[in-house]
């Protein structure tokens, strides 16, 4: 943290009451102004190169303003400069903790323009990988959140299972972080022999280990005291700022794109009632506080396990990519597709004029939208609670800036 010198006392002397011995008392009137503190852009708790300009009156925050753009890479403009398939690796770099989901959102937007049919096995693998990636993303979200406020051990525990998840992705596509596995028309390649059985073993182990995380961190007395009744987002505030994902469901608003605007195989999954939408209830404090948002993410991991198991039970042999040409010429038109990413609604808007390159490529990043609430959320909180509030938003700076 760096501070700017803003303490400029204005001193005036006023004559007070007479004292014994003929002396007189003088009163000194001192006036100060709020101090501005730069949190970032290298502060570890911002989880990326982001700066939050905080204004404080002693320990009380009176204002906060996020400053973005330190990680801007012109991703959307690049989407209007390279061919449709060449843009896919750039989507990995938005929310680099949920690259599979990013691949899926962009591919679905292009496929909507093309009007092509995706093979069922490809949709199974897409859904399975998207939910595994949601688990890995939430493990980072909760583990680093505990780390931010002083809980070191859960961070190591959660990386243990995340490492297994990344090894599974490495076996199916060769990469551990930026995958480019989900392609326009399907997926890059089929699952290798034994991969689905290992995914099932992962689910069996994770269900046991999840209870450790829940007891060790989410129900931890110190963690509850640091997060309950802190950073309360009311239902009205959540709707006004357009929040989505766990930020929205943490305020008990029942909205999830997987169920309410189903895509891929989620309509079948919902009909089979294979998973539920966790909604916060203010169990440890006020509805919509930091603890509620952490609780929603923790519960969503178990729901993702249910979806993965559904895919494992239903998956059948078949092709994994549709019949598409190597050089794509997308029919003229426009399309928008929003999907439920770990951090909320990731939307892709693409426009084609019939050529090999998009005329327009725009992205609705959930981290960017969710971050806007900080300006209203942080005033009135204590300076020590800024870390808890920012961590509860679970932003990825690569997505806020793009």
**Polymer length in residues for the chain:** 402
- What pLDDT is recorded for position 11? 43
Instruction: Give phi and psi for 66, each to the nearest 5.
Output: -70, 135
| 8 Å CB contact between 231 and 388 | yes
d(CA 280, CA 255): 12
SS3 339: strand
- What pLDDT is recorded for position 27? 55
Strand partners, 53: 38, 65
Domain layout of the chain by residue ranges: 74-379
- What pLDDT is recorded for position 141? 92
Angle subtended at Cα 59 by Cα 34 and Cα 43, rounded to the nearest 5 degrees: 90
Please write down the HEC assignment for all residues of 251-265.
Answer: CCCCCCHHHHCCCCC
Sign of the torsion formed by the C-alpha atoms of 141, 144, 145 and 146: positive
CA-only gyration radius of the chain, Å: 25
| 8 Å CB contact between 389 and 59 | no
The 10 Å Cβ neighbour count of residue 96 is 16
Strand partners, 333: 352
| Alpha helices in 115-262, H assignment, sequence order | 120-148, 153-173, 195-213, 221-227, 235-240, 246-249, 257-260
d(CA 192, CA 168): 10
d(CA 69, CA 155): 28
Sign of the torsion formed by the C-alpha atoms of 319, 204, 96 and 364: positive
- What pLDDT is recorded for position 28? 58
SS3 238: helix
pLDDT in tens, the chain (402 residues): 444 444 444 444 445 556 566 666 555 566 678 888 888 787 777 777 888 899 998 889 999 998 888 888 889 999 999 999 999 999 998 888 999 999 999 999 999 999 888 999 999 999 999 999 999 999 999 999 998 888 888 889 999 999 999 999 999 999 999 999 999 999 999 999 999 999 999 999 999 999 998 999 999 999 999 999 999 999 999 999 999 999 999 999 999 999 999 999 999 999 998 899 999 998 888 999 999 999 999 999 999 999 999 999 999 999 999 888 877 888 999 999 999 999 999 999 999 999 899 999 999 999 999 999 999 999 999 988 988 999 899 888 888 888
Cα 372 to chain centroid distance, Å, stands at 13
Which residue's entry shows tokens 């990636």?
133
Angle subtended at Cα 79 by Cα 78 and Cα 84, rounded to the nearest 5 degrees: 130
Instruction: Give phi and psi for 226, each to the nearest 5.
Output: -80, -15
- What pLDDT is recorded for position 50? 85
Which residue's entry shows tokens 């004559």?
15
Look at the domain 74-379 and name its fold: Cytochrome-c3 Hydrogenase; chain B (1.10.645)
Q: What is the pTM of this model?
A: 0.89
d(CA 311, CA 185): 19
């Amino acid at each position: 943290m760096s501070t700017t010198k803003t303490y400029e006392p204005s001193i005036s002397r006023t004559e007070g009451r007479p004292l014994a011995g003929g002396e007189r008392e003088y009163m000194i009137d001192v006036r100060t102004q709020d101090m501005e503190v730069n949190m970032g852009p290298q502060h570890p708790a911002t989880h990326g190169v982001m700066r939050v300009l905080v204004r404080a009156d002693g320990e009380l925050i009176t204002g906060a303003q996020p400053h973005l753009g330190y990680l801007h890479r012109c991703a959307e403009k690049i989407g209007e400069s390279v061919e449709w398939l060449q843009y896919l690796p750039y989507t990995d770099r938005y929310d680099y903790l949920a690259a599979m989901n990013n691949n899926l959102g962009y591919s679905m937007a292009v496929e909507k323009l093309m009007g092509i049919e995706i093979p069922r096995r490809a949709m199974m693998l897409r859904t399975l990988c998207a939910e595994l990636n949601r688990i890995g993303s939430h493990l980072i979200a909760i583990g680093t959140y505990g780390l931010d406020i002083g809980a070191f051990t859960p961070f190591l525990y959660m990386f243990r299972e995340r490492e297994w998840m990344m090894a599974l992705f490495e076996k199916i596509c060769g990469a551990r972080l930026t995958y480019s596995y989900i392609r326009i028309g399907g997926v890059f390649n089929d699952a290798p022999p034994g991969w689905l059985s290992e995914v099932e073993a992962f689910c069996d182990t994770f269900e046991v280990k999840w209870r450790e995380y829940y007891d060790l961190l989410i129900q931890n007395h110190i963690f509850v005291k640091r997060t309950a009744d802190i950073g309360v987002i009311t239902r009205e505030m959540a709707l006004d700022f357009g929040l989505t994902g766990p930020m929205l469901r943490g305020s008990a608003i029942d909205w999830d794109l997987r169920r309410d605007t189903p895509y891929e195989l989620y309509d079948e999954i919902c009909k089979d009632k294979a998973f539920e939408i966790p909604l916060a209830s203010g169990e440890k404090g006020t509805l919509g506080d930091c603890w509620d948002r952490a609780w929603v993410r923790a519960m969503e991991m178990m729901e993702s396990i249910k979806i993965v198991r559904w895919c494992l039970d239903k998956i059948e042999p078949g092709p994994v990519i549709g019949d598409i040409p190597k050089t794509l010429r997308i029919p003229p038109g426009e399309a928008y597709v929003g999907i439920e990413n770990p951090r909320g609604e990731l939307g892709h808007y693409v426009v084609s004029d019939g050529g090999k390159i998009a005329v327009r490529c725009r992205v609705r990043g959930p981290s960017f939208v969710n971050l806007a609430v900080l300006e209203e959320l942080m005033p009135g909180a204590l300076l020590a609670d800024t870390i808890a509030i920012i961590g509860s938003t679970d932003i990825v700076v690569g997505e806020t800036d793009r």
